[in-house]
Structure 1
Amino acid sequence: MAISLSVVLMLAIILVVMIRGGSIKAGPAVVAALFGFFLASTGMAPTIQKFMDSIAHTINQISF
């Protein structure tokens, strides 16, 4: 749960920066947010979550 909350927060910040910077307009941003919201309620949600968890685990294993 902590990973998904931090990913949502990070993506929200990126979205706000992109809207304010003018690289994405408000309309497409709303469509993208709604797409993500509805995608989360489909059968693909567990697969996407596993994929994101594996990416987070891989990043966590990288030592500098």
Structure 2
Amino acid sequence: MLLSVSLALIFAAITGVLIWAGRVSVSSAVAVWLSGFTAAATVVAGPVHALLSAAVSAFH
């Protein structure tokens, strides 16, 4: 759970910087954010979580 919260905060910060810098519009960021929730509710959530866990353990 701690890993999920940390990644969520990192991605939120990156999104905020991209919006602030004018690289991404707010509407595009909202669309990607909503698609993330949609993907999390599908079969894709398991492999993505496994990939992120493997990447974190590789750097740890």
The alignment's TM-score, normalised by the length of structure 2, stands at: 0.96
Larger Rg: 1
The alignment status of 1:38 with 2:34, answered yes or no, reads: no
Aligned residues: 60
Which consecutive residues of structure 1, in runs of 5 or more, have no partner in the other structure? none
RMSD: 0.6
Residues 1-55 of structure 1 deviation map (CA, whole Å, 9 limit, x = unaligned) = 1111100000000001100110100111001000101100001101110000000
Larger relative contact order (CA 8 Å, sep ≥ 6): 1
Which consecutive residues of structure 2, in runs of 5 or more, have no partner in the other structure? none
The one-letter code of the counterpart of 2:58 is T
The one-letter code of the counterpart of 2:17 is V
Identity of aligned residues (%): 28
User: SS of the counterpart of 1:42?
Assistant: coil
Tell me which residue corresponds to 1:12. Answer: 12
